[in-house]
Structure 1
Amino acid sequence: MTVDVQIVNAFTEAKTGGNPAGVVLNADDLTSVQKLAIAAQIGLSETAFVSSSKIADFKLDFFTPNRQIAHCGHATIGAFSYLRQLGLIQGSYTSKETIDGRREIRLKGEQAYMEQLAPVYRHTNYLETAILRALGLQKSDLLPGAPLEVVNTGNNFLIIPVKDAKTMAAIIPNMTEITELSEALDLIGFYPFTLDTGTAKRIADTRMFGPRYQIYEEAGTGMAAGPLACYLYDVLGIKHEVFLIRQGKFMSKPSPSLIEVHLSTQNGAIEGLLAGGKGKISQQLTIEI
């Protein structure tokens, strides 16, 4: 069997950079074992498999090279950007079904936005020493007065406030230790950030390490940017409605990604959010399984 895979760079900034995701259409007849084998051959952090749904417009299954995952931001943006360019979505509203339920998707021009849930917070300061050691950081490298938090708007990410860009660039992740902590906390990954972006147009620069899912560092993580925006709003008191978050700048091969997060609030409380960006088709592969 051969399967066509479209590679789409999601969260591109000025049509460059971004995070590549695989997109496979008409995946109804593929088994989970076959999907995992395809994702492993592609070797990207995530691949989205699009099939028909009885409760939404499309069903999306997400696979990393070693397991299935409930949600994936950049693969969602990549998939819906591709579906839009194929003319399979005409209006501004559509939806996806995942193993975790139905989520709304909005489209505005070249931008696609996915729905995430209200945040749930979990303190992790009791693991501060181990977390810092896993990143090669010291206590003095953190943003003063800002706690370490696991934040979930659909997936668990550990939000780590770093004091400046120089420190972000100097992070040396210990993938074994990050994996162990991610298992203990049931994380997708670590998401360090800094407010020291050098520009008023970007609220934060970030990195994402998810070795538990064989994601060693990736350029754009929409399901992590949503939790970070909630953290900035609720924990640091940055009361914006829209957050522009950049990722990928500090990778060994930089691939800057721009993730736009819109918070929905009621009486100062976050009720949900939309996270999104642009997708650009880069290439097509044919995989044999």
Structure 2
Amino acid sequence: MMDNQKQVTVQILNAFTENDKGGNPAGVVLNADALSHENKLTIAQKVGLSETAFISQSKTADYKLDFYTPTKQIAHCGHATVAAFSYLKQLGLLKSNSSSKETIDGNRKIEIQDDLAFMEQTAPSYIDVSEKKNAILNSLGLSKKDLLPNAPMQVVNTGNSFLLIPVKDAKTLEDISPDFDDIESISEAYDLIGYYIFTTDTTAEIDATARMFAPRYGILEEAGTGMAAGPLASYLFHVLQLKKTTFKIQQGKYMSPPSSSVIEVQLQVKNEHITGLMAGGKGVVAAQVEIDFTE
């Protein structure tokens, strides 16, 4: 290797696995303190997954986490957080079942429950998108009759913004034909991570099945999105009036190839209002790769 060539070890973990299978792969890099922003972006590009988490020391939380897609840095990432803290737990590096992460958007609490890692999200905010309803439908090859009745599309944010689109049944969800250029321009207009299209037409133990498209972040479709599951659980509670506090969200089932994931969301509710929430799942080590980069 030339003098300025370096190598970093990246663990690949599948987060939000369903019965230890499927899930959404994320890269995890330990001891990332000496890596620059450019280094991290290069490594994330070479890893080629939707997100890679870089773990370094923090003065204000247990660990500092920086998240990179192949194209840019992102404030929060659910599946990479679950992957990172599952891995830290498996290495015996967590002092207790309550932990914390420092991010570029402030600190968040982390909880470990048995094999699951949960991350804190903020109380939801909602934005009406009815003025772009037709454009949104066109971007998915859908018509109004494909939507769930009395369930408006909304942008919901619990830390990141996602456009939630309720469709009437599983077949409609499976048959979506996304126009990624249109999705990207609408995502740009609302400053979204992406679209989260879902149906409540599911098996008994699953509350909703969803698909996530985020072409603006270089992700055509993702298998498990913790930062989108929080908004969806909030929507199910507030808009669809499913009055419970634990939701199971399935994702990745209709990807090609399928990679089914389950995200558990636990709402904190006071006087019918969601005051905060935790979203989590299990991370399973799948592989280890060595990435070369130039310092």
Q: Which amino acid aligns with 1:183?
A: E
**Is residue 2:167 matched to residue 1:165?**
no
- Give 1:83's aligned residue: 88
Paired AA for residue 215 in structure 2: P
- Deviations along 1:169-216, one digit per CA (max 9) or x if unpaired, are 00011000000000000000000000001x110000000000000010
Alignment partner of 1:213 is 2:217: yes
SS at match of 1:252: coil
| Corresponding residue for residue 31 of structure 2 | 26
C-alpha separation between the residues in 1 aligned to 2:221 and 2:241? 28
Cα distance in 2, alignment partners of residues 193 and 150 from structure 1: 13
C-alpha deviations, 1:117-174, integer Å up to 9, x for none? 0001000011000000111101100001110100000000000000000000000110
1:63-142 equivalences in 2 (<5 Å): 63-142=68-147
**1:108 positional shift:** 1.2
Provide the C-alpha distance between the structure 2 equivalents of 1:146 and 1:216, rounded to a whole number of angstroms: 25
The corresponding residue for 1:283 is: 287
Q: Deviations over 1:237-263 (max 9, x none)?
A: 111110000000010100000000000
The residue identity in structure 2 corresponding to 1:95 is S
TM-score with structure 2 setting the length? 0.97
* Secondary structure at 2:213 match in 1: coil
**Structure 2: which amino acid aligns with 1:274?**
M
Aligned to 1:182: 187
Which segments of 5 or more consecutive residues in structure 2 lack a partner in the other structure?
A: 1-5
The alignment partner of 1:80 has SS state of helix
Matched, 1:267 2:280: no
Query: Is 1:251 the equivalent of 2:234?
Result: no
Paired residue type of 1:240: K
**Structure 1 partner of 2:151:** 146
* SS of equivalent residue, structure 1 residue 22: strand
The structural deviation recorded for 1:23 is 0.2
Gaps of 5+ in 1: none
Shift of 1:90: 3.5
Matched, 1:232 2:236: yes
1: CA distance between counterparts of 2:190 and 2:271?
31
Give distance in 2, aligned partners of 1:35 and 1:216: 21
Give the match for residue 65 of structure 2. Answer: 60
Instruction: Tell me how far 1:231 sits from its aligned partner.
Output: 0.5
Q: Alignment RMSD, CA only?
A: 0.5
Identity %: 61
